[in-house]
Amino acid sequence: MKQLLILSGKGGTGKTTVAGAIIRLAQVLACADCDVDAPNLHLILNHEGDGERKDYFGLPKAFIDQNACTMCGRCSEMCRFNAVDVGERTAINGFACEGCGLCEAICPENAIEMQAVAAGDLRLFKDEEKGVFSTAQLRMGNGTSGLLVTQVKNQLKNAAAHLGFAVIDGSPGIGCPVIASLSGADMVLVVTEPSMSGFSDMERILDTAKGLRADTAVCVNKADLNPKITEKIKIRCEERNVPYVGEIPYDPIAVKAVNDGLTVADVKCPAGDAVRDIFHNVMEVFDGRRRV
Amino acid sequence: MNIAVLSGKGGTGKTMVSVNLATVAGPSVYIDCDVEEPNGHLYLRPEDVEREAVDVLVPKSDPDKCDGCMRCVEFCRFNALAYTLDRLTVFTEMCHSCGGCKVICPKDAITEYPRTIGYVESGKSDNVKIHTGIMNIGEVAGIPIINRLLEKIPESGNVFIDCPPGSSCSVMESIKDADFCVLVSEPTVFGAHNLNMVTELVTVFGKPFGVILNKDIEGERNPSEEYCIENNLKILGRIPFDKELGLLSSEAVIAARENPKFRNLFTEIFNNIREAAL
């Protein structure tokens, strides 16, 4: 399965809007939302029902058997995450606990046990017309979002192995969930915006992708809001030898479409037309690289 | 007062709001906890910048002492250790620095050494002190950088903590010392959906909070406002969708420094925050 991953570095540049439009335009039958921290793609794909739900288990958390605990405080001393408070009784702070298991290993009374905790929900939608959609939501107060991203992608691969092409909506930033989503991506479309913040964040995500040897292309959303910076981004892409695949204008019709639960490809608007061109260009780059 | 600014969804205007509030509330401290993509320094353009490295401890094994028992490999839940051929390999970027392998090793073969994962840059811009966390490219987790940043919070005065997007561990870490949380929203269904998530987050942590409606267009539907009304959330202010504000912010210019109209707007919002935080 070939994977097109949509990333941005900076949040709110329009990843999900672009991903949704491409999915609709190209009638993509395999897609996933890897922004497990703040998923939104489901809001415009409109799959019916709740799909198949599965618990996601991240790393386990420590639990104390109060009857066995002698309050010796060794666990609190050794925990590097300040997750153990020894007051009137020994208590684990589940938000701070990273699940390393050191306390369990060193407790002289064997009073601590690591237990699996559901840290999120995985969902899988299958529809004959709309295809396969894999998504997840991390439950509040949990880390290990990278592991959940990997499971979202595995769920998609298992259910849609027969489908040749998948679109994956990524998360902002350059850390754990982004790096997990980059693994196995054949092509990364970076959606940026013409602002100093967008420019700076684009550089950081391109560096991150380059470090992982992922192929990238860049497009600018809301390009007309600051044409000077849009031009600067274009020049920077040339310098970096990263294909610049197009610009999307700021489009109030697009905003309204998304608020009505539609993709920008569902309504006739300048933003929809622009995404069509961008998708065409991305696929050309994609195909060109494949041939080389 | 420590004020954390967060949003769930990215790009709703956290940084724009934080730097403008820090400007009108000056003298103040601005702390950028979005260590993956820090942008506040682009607006504030700090001077006299001092840089300090943030290190974490990672293990290494002495091959002369290691007898290959693999207790450490079995112990490590982060998959940061592997024993291949005749020695221990450490995948340092997977390591959470728990120190467990060193404690577990029966041969005392493991020691730890510091590894730099990022920086904190501190400087000044007029009457705003700035601390920026910057995670190195290729690193996965910036929590230790956020913790270093939070050590910079002074005993008193107005502190603005610009949080990362999302609602996971790095956001929780960023708000832990906050007295009040400001949730910045945008008028889209995406914004409203993620506003719901951060509302739950600040509620679980028992933080008082209010919402700023950013990019608000008069007379048009605002899903985030609808969410606030339905759930009886405190609205701290509205920032209208404004071409000039958009253009200034895209150039990373602090609007409150440029135009009295914006200075007044952010002063009013800051006063509302103070009132709400009482």
B77–A59 C-beta distance less than 8 A: yes
All structural domains of chain B, each given as residue ranges with its CATH number in brackets, are 2-54+118-277 (3.40.50.300), 63-108 (3.30.70.20)
Q: What is the pLDDT of residue B105?
A: 97
Pick from B78, B140, B167: CB nearest A179: B140
Q: Which of residues 32-51 of B touch A (CB under 8 A)?
A: 34, 36-37, 39, 42
The whole-angstrom separation of Cα B40 and Cα B130 is: 9
Q: Does A247 touch chain B (CB under 8 A)?
A: no
Are A97 and A65 contained in the same domain? yes
Inter-chain Cβ pairs, chain A and chain B, closer than 8 A? 168
Check whether B79 has a pLDDT greater than 50: yes
The whole-angstrom separation of Cα B226 and Cα B267 is: 25
Q: Which of residues 107-136 of A touch B (CB under 8 A)?
A: none
Q: What are phi and psi of B31, to 5 degrees?
A: -120, 120
**What's A77's domain CATH number?**
3.30.70.20
Do residues B34 and B163 lie in contact, with contact meaning Cβ atoms separated by under 8 Å?
A: yes
What are the distances in angstroms from CA B40 to CA A292, B32, B152, B198? 42, 6, 16, 21
Are A212 and A268 contained in the same domain? yes
**What's A225's domain CATH number?**
3.40.50.300
Tell me how many domains chain A contains.
2
Of A115, A134, A151, the one marking the end of a domain is A115
Are A101 and A187 contained in the same domain? no
pLDDT in tens, B115-148: 999 999 999 999 999 999 999 999 988 999 999 9
Do residues B44 and B30 lie in contact, with contact meaning Cβ atoms separated by under 8 Å?
A: yes
B100–A38 C-beta distance less than 8 A: no
| Minimal C-alpha gap between A82 and chain B (Å) | 11
* Nearest residue on chain B to A201, alpha-carbon basis: B37
Are A150 and A230 contained in the same domain? yes
pLDDT in tens, chain A (292 residues): 899 999 999 999 999 999 999 999 989 999 999 999 899 999 999 898 889 999 999 889 999 999 999 999 999 999 999 999 988 899 999 888 999 999 999 999 999 999 999 999 999 999 988 899 999 999 887 777 889 999 999 999 999 988 889 999 999 999 989 999 999 899 999 999 999 999 999 999 999 999 999 999 999 999 999 999 999 999 999 999 999 999 999 998 988 898 898 999 999 999 999 999 999 999 999 887 655 4
Collapsing DSSP states into helix, strand and coil, what is residue A21? helix
Q: State mean pLDDT over B28-33.
A: 98
Are A27 and A87 contained in the same domain? no
Are A84 and A183 contained in the same domain? no
| Minimal C-alpha gap between A162 and chain B (Å) | 31
Question: How many helices and strands in chain B, by DSSP H and E?
Answer: 11, 11
A204–B37 C-beta distance less than 8 A: yes
Q: What is the domain range of residue A106? A: 59-115
Are A153 and A83 contained in the same domain? no
Check whether B233 has a pLDDT greater than 70: yes
Taking the CB of residue A157, how many other CB atoms lie within 10 A of it? 18
User: Confidence band (pLDDT; 50, 70, 90) for B255?
Assistant: very high
Are A158 and A173 contained in the same domain? yes
Pick from A9, A175, A255: CB nearest B135: A175
Instruction: Mutation target for A interface from B190, B220, B224: give the one with most A CBs within 10 A.
Output: B190
Judging by beta carbons within 10 Å of its beta carbon (0-12, 13-18, 19+), is residue B147 exposed, middle or buried?
middle
Q: Does B136 touch chain A (CB under 8 A)?
A: no
Longest Cα–Cα distance in chain B: 74
Are A137 and A237 contained in the same domain? yes
Are A264 and A200 contained in the same domain? yes
Q: Which of residues 154-193 of A touch B (CB under 8 A)?
A: 171-176, 179, 193
Q: Which of residues 202-261 of B touch A (CB under 8 A)?
A: 204, 221, 223, 246-247, 249-252
Sheet with strand B28-32: strands edge to edge: B47-61, B110-125, B128-135, B28-32, B158-162, B2-6, B180-185, B209-216, B235-240
Which string of b and e fits B188-197 if b means at least 16 CB within 10 Å?
A: bbbbbbbbeb
Q: State mean pLDDT over B247-253.
A: 97
Judging by beta carbons within 10 Å of its beta carbon (0-12, 13-18, 19+), is residue A82 exposed, middle or buried?
exposed
Q: Does A195 touch chain B (CB under 8 A)?
A: yes
Instruction: Mutation target for A interface from B197, B250, B253, B254: give the one with most A CBs within 10 A.
Output: B250
Q: What are phi and psi of A142, to 5 degrees?
A: -120, 145
Are A42 and A132 contained in the same domain? yes
Are A173 and A84 contained in the same domain? no
DSSP letter assigned to residue B208: -
Do residues A107 and A79 lie in contact, with contact meaning Cβ atoms separated by under 8 Å?
A: no
